[in-house]
Amino acid sequence: MATQSADLLHTPLFSRHQELGAKCADFGGWEMPIEYSGAVAEHAAVRSSVGIFDVSHMGKLRITGPGTIAALNLIVASDLAKIGNGQAQYSMLCNEHGGVIDDFIIYRFTEDNVFIIPNAANAAEVFQRLSELLPSGIIIENLHDEYGIIAIQGPLSANVLGRMGLPIDCDYMNWLPADVDGDAVIICRTGYTGEVGFELVAPVGVLQQLWDRTLAAAAEVDGVPAGLGARDILRTEMGYPLHGQDISPSISPLEAKISWAIGWDKPEFAGRPTLLATRERGAARKRVALKAIGRGIPRAHMDVYRESELKNKIGEITSGTFSPMLKAGIALALVDSEHEKLESMFIDVRGKALECANVALPFISASPK
């Protein structure tokens, strides 16, 4: 059984992970399950049936007050005018240099009420920044310790919810309210795996019971608890960015090729002048997706070269892993823009040149819709 570290934060489900024999490690200051039966087996379950994740370390912010949507829309990068009540949107908070302070999902309840789920390590900063930028009359609450999140991901995720008696009639990037033994739970058709999935945002008082019920229902269709190791493989196969690696305060949405999420026609949002200027002149670096041709596993911070002699460095790996689906190493990298169209590139893997094909994303055929 895993031992608890007093120096790290823990979700309300930590004791459940200990009982399941999870291997835990530090993830953004939280002691989180990395794997239970093994990352590859858990990855396979998500791709073929269903995996259950504890992602309660993620932040939870509620913003309310007259004109909340309009006020927030002048700050975040996406265009909140494009979603209605009961819908969700991927967004970012950028700095004055165009870098990404954090990326998150915004859930719209009404024009005066939204819920935001930022990344765990950035939740406090997002709360602080928004507190400073939002006008008086708009109230922002940090509910990090009041709610937990259970992600149900995989082609049989709706089946699991149905077995639990929960509503499943929800389109992608939408959410529904539900009642679980008298507690209000938010059922979101969102996720970070590339598969059809749901995320349950629930009060901490009902979280352990909800986790137990979810695992029991998932087990009936060969589903398993899954850790963040599998989650990282799954999101990399889809090319989904991880904050702190593929995007960061020094890596812009244009460099990471996620500028599709920006509401360019809005008159104002944080970082807009710099991002507009960068779009006009072109970003100096661009994200590429690399699939290993030979044997080898790319890892973050490995150098990327244009030739096998490893003499002319053109970039660096931001995320890398082994894809069980492709049975090959895959990576996201930032390279000098002049080289982004190269058909192949070479990664320095412990002094040896690993040839990789420059491919389109996603690496595999999957869809969360």
Per-residue pLDDT of 223-260, as tens digits, reads 999 999 999 999 999 999 999 999 999 999 999 999 99
Residue 98 Cα to chain centre, angstroms: 20
Rounded to a whole number, what is the distance in angstroms from the first to the last CA of the chain? 37
Residue 4: pLDDT band (50, 70, 90) is low
3-state secondary structure 306-344: CCCCCCCEEEEEEEEEEECCCCEEEEEEEEEHHHCCCCE
Per-residue pLDDT reduced to its tens digit, 83-104: 999 999 999 999 999 999 999 9
Question: With pLDDT > 90 as the criterion, what percentage of the chain qualifies?
Answer: 97
Last residue of a domain, one of 105, 130, 155: 130
Q: Dig out the tokens for 186 from the structure.
A: 């938010």
- Same domain as 28, residue 166: yes
98 and 151 inside one domain: no
Pull the structure tokens for residue 160.
């699991």
Specify the number of domains making up the chain: 3
C-beta separation of 121 from 32 below 8 A: no
74 & 172 share domain: no
Are residues 25 and 151 located together in one domain of the fold?
yes
Listing DSSP states for 133-199 in one string gives HSPTT-EEEE-TTTEEEEEEESTTHHHHHHHTT------TTBEEEEEETTEEEEEE---SSSSSEEE
Is residue 8 included in any domain, yes or no?
no
Residue 316 bridge partners (DSSP): 303, 334
Distance CA(306)–CA(283), nearest Å, equals: 19
72 and 30 belong to one structural domain: no
For range 196-206, the mean pLDDT: 97
State yes or no: pLDDT of 5 exceeds 70. Answer: no
Asked whether residue 263 is assigned to any structural domain, the reply reads no
Q: Is the pLDDT confidence value at 2 over 80? A: no
Looking at the fold, whether 49 and 74 belong to one and the same domain comes out as: no
Domain that holds residue 19: 14-56+145-237
pLDDT in tens, 131-148: 999 999 999 999 999 999
Arithmetic mean of pLDDT, 333-339: 98
Residue 169: how many other CB atoms lie within 10 Å: 8
Domain holding 314: CATH number?
2.40.30.110
